[in-house]
């Protein structure tokens, strides 16, 4: 892919992130208040914070050694996810709920068949070995591994947003989950295009 094409994709992603920020501000700025949370609302916020924090770590890891287009994308992902972490931490504080989950990952959605690994780990997360490998690469190898890990990461997160958008008790949480899903699908499409341009295989879908 030529440089203008890559820059266009990076700018497009930043615009998407800015649009999502405006939508999120509209959701959290509503006059109806945050509402009374249930198990799904609290569990979703806690687990998605953990999920987002790893995405921020991966994005920060590659920014010094990645190619131009992947570096710009990583910056956009970092900013988007830090902003979203702030929204969820704010809700948990308002609800007087712990910032971190105390039980197994994603236990709040374990009754749904689309989550087959309740209690076995959070879907889509990179392993420590994968993170260590990411930190030791450079150039196109770094770009490709970052894209593969982040695509899998986003796809894992979509399982949580689907459950929250359907089952959360608080309207704001349902709306927030739908916005996250739209944003992450768009980012995933951008990453898949960049990965294809590198002529590297797409990652397998998360369990």
Query: 79 CB contacts (<8 Å, ≥6 apart)?
Result: 17
Q: How far is CA 119 from the centre of its chain?
A: 20
CATH number for the domain including 45? Answer: 1.20.1260.10
CB 56 within 8 A of CB 78: yes
pLDDT value of position 143? 96
Helix ranges, the chain (H):
3-28, 39-62, 68-94, 128-135, 139-167, 171-197
Q: Which domain holds residue 115?
A: 3-197
Does residue 97 sit within a domain?
yes
**Residue 202 belongs to some domain of the structure:** no
pLDDT at 199: 86
Classified as helix, coil or strand, 23 is helix
Mean pLDDT by 10 residues, the chain (207 residues): 42 42 45 71 96 97 94 96 96 95 86 46 91 94 96 95 95 96 95 92 70
Residue 174 is assigned to a structural domain of this protein = yes
Domains: count for the chain: 1
Q: What is the pLDDT, as a whole number, of residue 34?
A: 52
Whether residue 33 is contained in a domain is answered as: yes
What pTM does this model have?
Answer: 0.79
41 part of a folded domain: yes
- Give residue 35's pLDDT: 66
- Supply the pLDDT for residue 52: 97
CA atoms within 13 Å, Cβ hemisphere of 4: 0
């Amino acid at each position: 892919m030529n440089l203008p094409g890559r820059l266009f994709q990076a700018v497009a992603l930043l615009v998407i992130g800015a649009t999502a920020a405006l939508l999120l501000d509209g959701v959290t700025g509503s006059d109806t208040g945050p509402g009374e949370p249930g198990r799904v609302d609290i569990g979703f916020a806690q687990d998605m914070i953990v999920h987002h924090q790893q995405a921020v770590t991966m994005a920060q890891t590659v920014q010094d050694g990645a190619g131009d287009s992947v570096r710009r994308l990583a910056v956009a992902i970092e900013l988007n996810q830090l902003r979203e972490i702030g929204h969820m931490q704010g809700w948990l504080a308002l609800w007087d709920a712990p910032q971190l989950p105390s039980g197994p990952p994603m236990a709040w959605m374990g009754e749904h068949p689309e989550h087959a690994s309740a209690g076995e780990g959070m879907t889509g997360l990179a392993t420590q070995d994968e993170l260590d490998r990411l930190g030791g690469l450079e150039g196109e190898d770094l770009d490709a591994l970052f894209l593969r890990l982040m695509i899998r990461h986003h796809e894992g997160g979509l399982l949580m947003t689907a459950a929250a958008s359907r089952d959360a008790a608080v309207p704001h949480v349902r709306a927030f989950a739908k916005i996250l899903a739209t944003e992450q699908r768009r980012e995933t499409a951008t990453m898949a295009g960049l990965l294809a341009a590198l002529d590297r295989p797409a990652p397998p879908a998360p369990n």
